[in-house]
Amino acid sequence: MTAEAFRILRAAGRTPVPWRNGGGTTREIVASPGATTDGFDWRVSLADVAADGPFSEFPGVDRTLTVVEGAGMDLMVGGEHHIVDEPYWPHDFPGDLETDGRLLAGPVVNLNVMYRRDRARAETAVVRGTLRLMAPEGGAVLAVVLEDGAVIDGTDSRLGCYDAVLVRGRAPVVLRTQGYAALVTLSALSVYEPGIQ
């Protein structure tokens, strides 16, 4: 297996960026086409949430929030309560609705996946064991290690908590985990069949 088949994104290299409302910080894992708040097709990040408060609105963007540390949150999305209190359970909601988050019992860390619904699709699952990572045509697959202890077959590459591996090619990459990992499959909208929006 060649190193070009995948890219390792180390947790240690991420810079925390404070939120405008002061309620937490965001550590971006990867974005496409680049790391701009308004210009992404899709974006995956970790958020450290330390206080109650509103979420930023993202017109035309769908979101998936997965609690990876802490007791969870009560999300008010467009006037409806969504209790997100089960660890490793992805929760989908529209990013363009007014959203407010209340901590259930102290700070949390969330894995956030955002994608523009007219450009891309993202599917998030939390799994463990042997993962065969192969990107969809024109897309990518990202595995974020949620617990220490993962290795990429055929390499000396070991991954710790919140390290990630990004696969863009069609050649499969095998990741073996001792604990859980979040698997995010990212597809360009153009690869979807007509009529599936």
The per-residue pLDDT for range 33-66, each reduced to its tens digit, is 865 566 789 999 999 999 999 988 899 999 999 9
Q: Return the CA Rg of the chain.
A: 16
d(CA 197, CA 192): 8
Contact 191, 136 (CB under 8 A): yes
Q: Does the structure show a pLDDT above 60 at 189?
A: yes
Q: List domains and CATH numbers for the chain.
A: 3-8+119-191 (2.60.120.10), 14-116 (2.60.120.10)
pLDDT at position 23, please? Answer: 78
- Strands, E, within 35-133: which ranges? 42-49, 53-54, 61-69, 73-77, 80-84, 91-94, 99-103, 108-116, 120-133
Q: Are 164 and 29 in contact (CB under 8 A)?
A: yes
What's the pLDDT score for residue 197?
A: 31
State pLDDT tens for residues 121-162.
Answer: 999 999 999 999 999 988 999 999 999 889 999 898 899 999
8 burial type by CB count under 10 A (0-12 exposed, 13-18 middle, 19+ buried): middle
Tell me the average pLDDT of the chain.
89
Tokens standing for residue 63 = 């979101």
Give per-residue pLDDT as tens, 81-120: 999 999 999 999 999 999 999 999 999 999 999 999 999 9
Collect all residues with Cβ–Cβ distance below 8 Å to 122 and sequence separation of at least 6. Answer: 42, 62, 64, 113, 114, 115, 184, 185, 186, 187
Task: Based on DSSP, count helices (H) and strands (E) in the chain, helices before strands.
Answer: 0, 17
Tokens standing for residue 173: 């990459």
